[in-house]
């Protein structure tokens, strides 16, 4: 499908130019038309694959050893769009003498094509992923060095490439070179421009437990991509810490850690109070303190901060238990274990 959703390309096998021979055809259907356009014919053992540069249909053709032509990506057109054209390749856009090109796909800016390239082969199927410049017609850079990478496609922003590797969908960041496998699949495509990956992150529960030295914080990720960032629990007010005579009042970090929640999921992240934070909780057994829970998404997404009441109870059965309740902003007052039980 073309980027604007108005045109469709497909290939199919059919009869060749000679009796008993076969060929590969590429056709296009424009929305609102009842008849499709024939755009490409490749006979014999020729195999083509197609894609788009903006609204322009393109196809990868294998190397032709007879005239010595390398594998090419060409513009396709019907007879009305390219009158007098004598071959399916109306205009050569890029070529690569190193091997066969397959599954070309242009970026939104119309300046580059990304494709799979099979080194040493006439026909491309899978191999490494390569970026090509439409201005020069030559390779810009090899995105990967794999042998099974195929069906690449640019993100809407042009800064990432999704492709298939061994039945897994992989995303390559062109800026820092990092790769991330997102799950099994074939023929990847993008659902639209990037959205803030952590715009939908929130605290999923107002009641937390503290067991075996850890605090479980439930986090909800409603974004299209995994939510990642930093989680911290701090005292909402200044507390005095340090040795007697040298104590200073400051907002104390009770616990902190990184979080990662799968897109569209809810997960409980465990953080372990350490040092002064843990000692403060030990001093407050049977009481409560007011804290702030902060989520700082990676990449500059919207921060989340909620003020909660952290309530502790005395140690029972060899297990610590910590409960956190949402507060309306009123100062937290210590309560005894008997009062806590009565509530």
28 by Cβ neighbours in 10 Å (0-12 / 13-18 / 19+) ranks as buried
Q: Could you tell me if 213 and 291 lie in one domain? A: yes
pLDDT of residue 341: 37
Asked if residue 1 is part of any domain, the answer here is no
For residue 252, being part of any structural domain is answered with yes
Kindly provide the b/e burial profile for residues 248-276, where b requires at least 16 CB atoms within 10 angstroms of the residue's own CB. Answer: eeeebbbbbeebebeeeeebebebebeee
Task: Decide if 2 is inside a domain.
Answer: no
| 189 found inside a domain | no
- Please give the Cα distance from 188 to 190 (Å, whole number): 7
Task: Work out how many domains the chain is built from and give that number.
Answer: 2
Domain boundary among 184, 216, 242: 184
Mean of all residue pLDDT scores within the chain: 83
Same domain, 274 and 171: no
Residue-number span of the structural domain to which 234 is assigned = 201-342
pTM of the model: 0.59
Alpha-carbon distance of 101 to 60, in angstroms, equals 6
Of 333, 239, 337, 233, the C-alpha closest to 285 is 337
Instruction: List pLDDT tens digits, range 156-198.
Output: 889 999 999 999 999 999 988 989 888 899 999 998 776 544 3
CA distance 292 to 235: 6
**Strand pairing partners for 211?**
214
Which two tokens mark 34?
A: 């009842």
Dihedral of the CA atoms 120, 125, 130, 136 (nearest 10)?
A: 80
pLDDT digits (tens, 9 = 90+) for 42-71: 887 788 999 999 999 999 999 986 688 899
Answer yes or no: do 157 and 228 share one domain. Answer: no
Residue 129 contacts residue 152 (beta carbons within 8 Å):
yes
Q: Do 15 and 158 belong together in one domain? A: yes
Residue 211 belongs to a domain = yes
For the chain, first and last CA: distance in Å?
Answer: 62
Of 63-72, 100-109, 233-242, 249-258, where does the model show the most confidence?
Answer: 100-109
- 85 half-sphere exposure, CB direction, 13 A CA radius: 19
Query: Which CATH number goes with the domain that contains 290?
Result: 2.60.40
């Amino acid at each position: 499908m073309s980027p604007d959703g108005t045109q469709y390309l497909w290939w199919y096998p059919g009869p060749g130019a000679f009796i008993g021979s076969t060929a590969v055809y590429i056709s296009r259907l424009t929305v609102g038309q009842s008849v499709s356009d024939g755009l490409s014919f490749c006979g014999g053992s020729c195999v083509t694959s197609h894609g788009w540069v903006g609204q322009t249909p393109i196809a990868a053709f294998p190397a032709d050893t007879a005239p010595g032509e390398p594998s090419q990506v060409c513009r396709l057109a019907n007879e009305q769009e390219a009158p007098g054209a004598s071959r399916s390749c109306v205009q050569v856009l890029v070529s690569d003498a190193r091997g066969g090109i397959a599954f070309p796909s242009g970026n939104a800016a119309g300046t580059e094509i990304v494709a799979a390239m099979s080194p040493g082969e006439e026909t491309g199927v899978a191999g490494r992923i390569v970026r090509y410049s439409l201005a020069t017609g030559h390779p810009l850079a090899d995105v990967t060095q794999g042998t099974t990478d195929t069906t690449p496609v640019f993100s809407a922003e042009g800064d990432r490439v999704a492709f298939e590797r061994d039945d897994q969908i992989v995303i390559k960041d062109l800026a820092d070179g990092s790769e991330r496998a997102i799950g099994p699949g074939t023929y990847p495509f993008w659902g639209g421009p990037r959205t803030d990956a952590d715009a939908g992150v929130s605290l999923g529960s107002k009641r937390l437990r503290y067991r075996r030295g850890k605090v479980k914080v439930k986090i909800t990720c409603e974004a299209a991509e995994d939510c990642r960032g930093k989680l911290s629990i701090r005292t909402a007010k200044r507390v005095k810490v340090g040795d007697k005579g040298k104590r200073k009042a400051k907002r104390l970090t009770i616990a902190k850690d990184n979080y990662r929640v799968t897109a569209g999921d809810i997960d409980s992240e465990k953080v372990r109070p350490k040092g002064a934070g843990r000692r403060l909780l030990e001093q407050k057994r049977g009481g409560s303190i007011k804290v702030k829970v902060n989520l700082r998404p990676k990449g500059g997404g919207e921060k989340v901060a909620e003020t909660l009441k952290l309530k502790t109870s005395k140690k029972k059965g060899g297990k610590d238990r910590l409960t956190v309740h949402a507060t309306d902003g009123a100062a937290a007052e210590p309560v005894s274990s008997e009062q806590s039980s009565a509530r």
